Amino acid sequence: MAEAAEGAGVSRRRVLGYGAAGLGLGAVRTRHVAAAGRGGRRVAVFGAGVAGLTAAHELAERGFEVTVYERRSVPGGKARSLYVPHSGTGGRRGLPGEHGHRGVFGFYHNLPDTLRRIPLAGGGTVHGNLAAVTRVEYARSGGRGSVTVPQRPWTPSLSDAGLLIASLAGTLEETFGLTPRESLFFARQLVILFTSCRERLFGQWEYVSWWDHIRAGRMSPEYQKLLGGGVQLIQALRPTTASARTCGQGFEAVLYAVTGRGTDGPADGVFDGPTSEAWIDPWVAHLRSLGVRFAYGRSVERLETAAGHVVRATARTARGGTERVDADWFVAAVPSDRAIRLWDGALRAADQRLAAMDGLQQTWCSGIQFFLRRPAEVVAGHVAHIDSPWKLVSIGQSKLWRAPFARTWGDGRAQESLSVDVSDWDTPGILYGRPARQCTRAEVAREVWAQMRAHLGASVLPDSLLHSWYLDEAITEGGDGLRNDDPYLLNSAGSWDLRPEAVTAVGNLFLAGDWVRTYSNVDFTSMETANEAGRRAAAGVLAAAGGPDRAEVRTFKGYEAPEFALAKEVDKERWRLGLPHLLDTGR
């Protein structure tokens, strides 16, 4: 455990988990491995989301006997497709809904590796089912002009901090019309994060919110809207609460993606069909071919411990009964809010990291799909609705799908799927004056449609265009408003301290999920971090099981610009001396 130095405005903070292992990038080490478990090959994975399926994939390839227990009747977790009941006619499949549109970004490295290892029945791999998104539109309401940005290579100089700041500031001025002063200030705050050493990132910037770091409270309403929350592509990175460290690493990863540095694919990509059809179904078929068993309708309720390891688990079945789960190794790959309920007194006493999870926060981000009678005149890419109070991001996803929509899904009258992520459920809307949480499902649909029309225009989205809509099935109506069965981990300032490692102090218990500490170039809630966490859990099982040599489970480190290396070394020395970052003058 390391501690930050005091002085120059830097508060003393503990950097939990930062040590000789290089923030977890070294070899996986296990502790308190139960002798009875060594050599055992039976693994119980609880949760069939991206993290659980990843762990099962890695372990099955290495000869383990894996059973995946999932509380629902289908796999995929938040990544699965949600088909509208009774909507398919004439041999067509049901209209495809989604929890949210799936983005596979160029700075992802762990997930693309998995996609390349999932074969398709007709040849090739799932990775071939990705389609590049070539344009992003920043739409404004009230008659203000929208800006469409092509996703083309950009080559700013990274070798000189001043030139990089000027280049970033110029781009902000040209694209969004921000003032030179605010553009330069924001660019400088970004470069401070890009060139901070790891000790400062985890010892200082982890405890400062993004909103405070970019001084949004002192800036113009346009600055606040555009840079302090309007372009909220990921709800887990809510600007007022997310740490400057996490947001800075995200912006740095995007910078590398748009400049083509260290990328694994296009800067922005989506699947060329419904997620379950393009990815999850082939994945499950491949796992079954490797011997993985799936037990659906099982929700883990209890982990029973003795002598420092889990001896058995209890799962609730779909019919309300209970089922005993026996295994040598246990992987908890359920969402963070459900994982916390599993940690009884014995587990919390055995590993304080589990008890610390009580402080984690969850938030809402769910998808709604509008099925259209004819294709809408919108870009074939993401649209950020800057002025929408509910922080909407949409995409005419079926424009990028391989199969013809009307002939493949629905009743033949719906010709397009417009998918929308709703990222703010707490701010009043423009139609009913209530936050999404306090609306009915139908009111949410009408409100989202109204907010999009305010940005794109009634001529682009006339009411006559709408065939039907489908809101994420996790959103249900209750007596006191809406409820969400699938919340996300909220990456808040200081939350790194509350997140556990994939390897626990309980000898045969391992953790996988986007709430587990990950060490690639990003650690916010995403399919990439879920995949990395699944890999780290599998690596922990592999190390603890011992036995014959098996290929190690790889995790991929994100790209780091060599031009920033010297600046980070300088900052590391300044951190050691208790001095602020060289660019952090406070002016």
Give pLDDT tens digits for 41-84: 999 999 999 999 999 999 999 999 999 999 999 999 999 999 99
Residue 10 is given by DSSP the state B
User: What pTM does this model have?
Assistant: 0.92
CA 79 to chain centre: 10
pLDDT at residue 159, rounded to an integer: 87
3-state secondary structure of 228: helix
pLDDT over 70 (residue 197): yes
Which residues lie closer than 8 Å to 428 by C-beta, 6 or more apart? 389, 434, 435
Cα-Cα end-to-end distance for the chain: 33
pLDDT at residue 413, rounded to an integer: 97
The per-residue pLDDT for range 234-259, each reduced to its tens digit, is 555 778 889 999 999 999 998 998 88
Average pLDDT value for the chain: 90
pLDDT over 90 (residue 9): no
pLDDT at residue 565, rounded to an integer: 96
User: Taking CA 489 as the corner, what is the angle to CA 484 and CA 491, rounded to the nearest 5 degrees?
Assistant: 140
β-pair type (382-385, 392-395): antiparallel
Spatial separation of the C-alpha atoms in residues 447 and 116, rounded to whole Å: 39
The per-residue pLDDT for range 289-300, each reduced to its tens digit, is 999 999 999 999
pLDDT at residue 231, rounded to an integer: 52
Q: Which two tokens stand for residue 241?
A: 């609460």
Give per-residue burial for 425-453: e unless 16+ CB within 10 Å, then b: beeebeebeebbbbbebebbbebbbbbbb
Q: Which two tokens stand for residue 516?
A: 């587990």
Spatial separation of the C-alpha atoms in residues 476 and 189, rounded to whole Å: 41
The band of 411, judged by pLDDT with boundaries at 50, 70 and 90, is very high
Closest by Cα among 143, 231, 5 to 459: 143
pLDDT at residue 235, rounded to an integer: 53
Q: Which two tokens stand for residue 63?
A: 């000869």
pLDDT over 60 (residue 25): no
Spatial separation of the C-alpha atoms in residues 288 and 275, rounded to whole Å: 19
Question: What is the sign of the dihedral through the CA atoms of 174, 175, 179 and 180?
Answer: negative
444 close to 371: Cβ distance less than 8 angstroms: no
β-pair type (366-372, 466-471): antiparallel
pLDDT over 50 (residue 36): no
What mean pLDDT do residues 353-378 have? 95
Q: Which two tokens stand for residue 223?
A: 């600055």
Spatial separation of the C-alpha atoms in residues 248 and 521, rounded to whole Å: 10
The per-residue pLDDT for range 435-450, each reduced to its tens digit, is 999 999 999 999 999 9
201 close to 245: Cβ distance less than 8 angstroms: yes
What mean pLDDT do residues 29-43 have? 56
Spatial separation of the C-alpha atoms in residues 198 and 571, rounded to whole Å: 9
pLDDT over 90 (residue 233): no
Burial (CB count within 10 angstroms: exposed 0-12, middle 13-18, buried 19+), residue 143? exposed
3-state secondary structure of 31: coil
The per-residue pLDDT for range 563-583, each reduced to its tens digit, is 999 999 999 999 999 999 999
Give per-residue burial for 328-361: e unless 16+ CB within 10 Å, then b: bbbbbbbbbbbbbebbeeebeebbebbbbbeebb
336 close to 495: Cβ distance less than 8 angstroms: no
pLDDT over 60 (residue 523): yes
The per-residue pLDDT for range 73-116, each reduced to its tens digit, is 999 999 999 999 999 999 999 999 999 878 999 999 999 999 99
What mean pLDDT do residues 376-402 have? 94
424 close to 232: Cβ distance less than 8 angstroms: yes
pLDDT at residue 331, rounded to an integer: 98
Quickly count: other Cβ atoms within 10 Å of residue 547's Cβ: 11
The per-residue pLDDT for range 462-483, each reduced to its tens digit, is 999 999 999 999 999 988 899 9
Spatial separation of the C-alpha atoms in residues 285 and 291, rounded to whole Å: 10
Closest by Cα among 515, 524, 513 to 558: 524
pLDDT at residue 26, rounded to an integer: 35
Q: What is the dihedral of CA 483, 449, 251, 356, to 10 degrees?
A: 0
pLDDT at residue 369, rounded to an integer: 97
Which residues lie closer than 8 Å to 252 by C-beta, 6 or more apart? 193, 194, 521
Spatial separation of the C-alpha atoms in residues 505 and 489, rounded to whole Å: 23
The per-residue pLDDT for range 313-345, each reduced to its tens digit, is 999 999 999 999 999 999 999 999 999 999 999
Residue 397 is given by DSSP the state G
**Phi-psi region at 265: left, alpha or beta (left = phi > 0; alpha = psi -120 to 50):** left
The band of 535, judged by pLDDT with boundaries at 50, 70 and 90, is very high
Spatial separation of the C-alpha atoms in residues 112 and 576, rounded to whole Å: 38
508 close to 308: Cβ distance less than 8 angstroms: no
Residue 292 is given by DSSP the state -
pLDDT over 80 (residue 153): no
The band of 311, judged by pLDDT with boundaries at 50, 70 and 90, is very high
Higher-pLDDT residue of 542 and 26 is 542
With pLDDT > 70 as the criterion, what percentage of the chain qualifies?
A: 91
Spatial separation of the C-alpha atoms in residues 125 and 117, rounded to whole Å: 7
pLDDT at residue 39, rounded to an integer: 64
Residue 23 is given by DSSP the state T
